[in-house]
Amino acid sequence: MSGWNVSEALTVAIINDCLKQNGFTEDRVNMYYESVKIDGEIVDDRIWNLQKSCSKSRSGLPGRIEFIIRPNERDDLLIIIEAKEKIVDHQNNGPNGELTDINERPVTDIKRYAIDGALHYAKHFSAGFNVIAIAVSGSNSDM
Q: Which has the minimum average pLDDT: 20-29, 70-79, 86-95, 120-129?
A: 86-95
Of 8 and 2, the structure prediction assigns the larger pLDDT to 8
Please tell me the predicted confidence (pLDDT) of residue 39: 81
Please tell me the predicted confidence (pLDDT) of residue 34: 84
Kindly list the distances between the CA atom of residue 83 and the CA atoms of 70, 72, 143, in Å, as whole numbers in the listed order.
18, 23, 12
Does 119 score more than 60 pLDDT? yes
Does 134 score more than 90 pLDDT? yes
Of 4 and 90, the structure prediction assigns the larger pLDDT to 90
Please classify residue 87 by burial: count the beta carbons closer than 10 Å to its beta carbon, then call 0-12 exposed, 13-18 middle and 19+ buried: middle
Does 1 score more than 50 pLDDT? no
How far from chain centre, in Å, is Cα 129?
A: 14
Does 105 score more than 90 pLDDT? no
Q: Rounded to two decimals, what is the model's pTM? A: 0.86
Does 3 score more than 80 pLDDT? no
Q: What is the largest CA-CA distance in the chain?
A: 45
